[in-house]
Amino acid sequence: MKNTIPFFRPFTSGQEVPHLQKVIERRDYAGGSNGIFTTHCEQILRKELNTPEVLLTSSCTHALEICFLLCDLKPGDEVIMPSFTFVSAANAVVLRGAVPVFVDIRPGDMNIDESLIEPAITERTRAILVMHYGGVSCQMHTLVTIARKYGLFIIEDAAHGIGARWQGISLGLKGDVAAISFHATKNIHCGEGGALIVNRPEWIERARQIRDKGTNRTQMLSGTASFYTWMTIGSSYVCSELTAAFLAGQLPFLEEVTNRHRAIWARYHSALQILAERIDIPQVDVDSEHNGHLFFIRLKETAIQKVLIDYLKADGIDARFHYVPLHSSPAGRQYGRWHGEDKYTTTASGTLLRLPLYYALSEAQQEQVIDSLYNFFQL
């Protein structure tokens, strides 16, 4: 067996440990909304994303929950979203007593098919949730037009999206609110963490309150409130200073890491075009400046997926499938509903395979992955 190539290996810059040591020396482990490193990271992200407010959270999951609290989602409301996405998005809807309405995807980029949204709108529809799969943007111009026409909120699940853009604008800035992930599997990470982007100025104060257990802690610390009290529904969504310190060691390398991911993505894309009759490879719109978060191939038959995974494993390569469609899951059938035809979602789930892609993936390892695919398809 050749040297094992893991599916991913989290990036480290070398600056994380010194930052963590500073937190330990100060004994300021919780930090929260006024922590030194939390504040520092939020300032960097506001500048990078060019947005008025970014709040660090304990996870992208929690950022999504805040999104729907800000939208004031009520029981019986409906949110249109893709079925091919991570469960956190649907959970955030169901926790408010609302109903996820699942629609199909576009097979070229695995994003929500914007042409299917308008037919799924009912008098109960309150929001559209879009997920930028692999750091490749959805068709935001069309989505914004639909949302404005019907008076709907747009929530951007930009979990994969740090460092990616749509028409030169960072992902997460076209919707009303957005969520970013800094999970260990993402390009830039802090083990487990996230961020909330608030694009509506009138929501900023409430977003801060929701993150701080529904209290006015931020206002009290800034001197704009004279006492600490409960203001709205919220939870403990703040990240710790240890988490923020780790992230502070990563953020200065965002451009470098993004460029490296894009280069590996481009190498796969170029080398695998020769297999066009056997597999499909990602299609990226000219307006989308992706971040190379992941690279997938789609096989022509579902029966091949496990066979290829096992073949690559025997060759020392860890490749993986991705989401099981939410609409066909036990909870999806209980809490949500499907609208329209399932033309691509289920088939894509059974034919998609993600290849190893991470900062430290060497050129030799990339060639090993490519050669192994060539051999499997007897090229």
- What backbone phi and psi angles, to 5 degrees, belong to 27? 60, 30
Residue 32's pLDDT is what?
Answer: 75
Q: How far apart are CA 197 and CA 157, in angstroms?
A: 10
Q: Which two tokens stand for residue 101?
A: 């309405």
Query: How confident is the chain (379 residues) per 10-residue block, as mean pLDDT?
Result: 86 97 87 87 96 96 98 98 98 98 97 98 98 97 97 98 96 98 98 97 97 90 84 95 97 98 98 96 94 98 96 97 97 98 97 98 98 94
Residue 117's pLDDT is what?
Answer: 98
Residue 28's pLDDT is what?
Answer: 79
Q: How far apart are CA 119 and CA 115, in angstroms?
A: 8
Helix (H) or strand (E) holding 337: strand 337-338
Pairing status of strand 169-170 against strand 194-198: unpaired
Q: Which two tokens stand for residue 52?
A: 């008025």
Other C-beta atoms lying within 10 Å of the C-beta of residue 316: 16
What the chain holds in terms of domains, given with CATH numbers, is: 1-379 (3.40.640.10)
Residue 3's pLDDT is what?
Answer: 67
Question: What is the pTM (predicted TM-score) of this model?
Answer: 0.96
Q: Are 379 and 274 in contact (CB under 8 A)?
A: yes
Q: How far apart are CA 111 and CA 368, in angstroms?
A: 29
Report the SS3 class of residue 356: coil
Residue 335's pLDDT is what?
Answer: 98
- Burial grade of 340 (CB within 10 A; 0-12, 13-18, 19 or more): middle
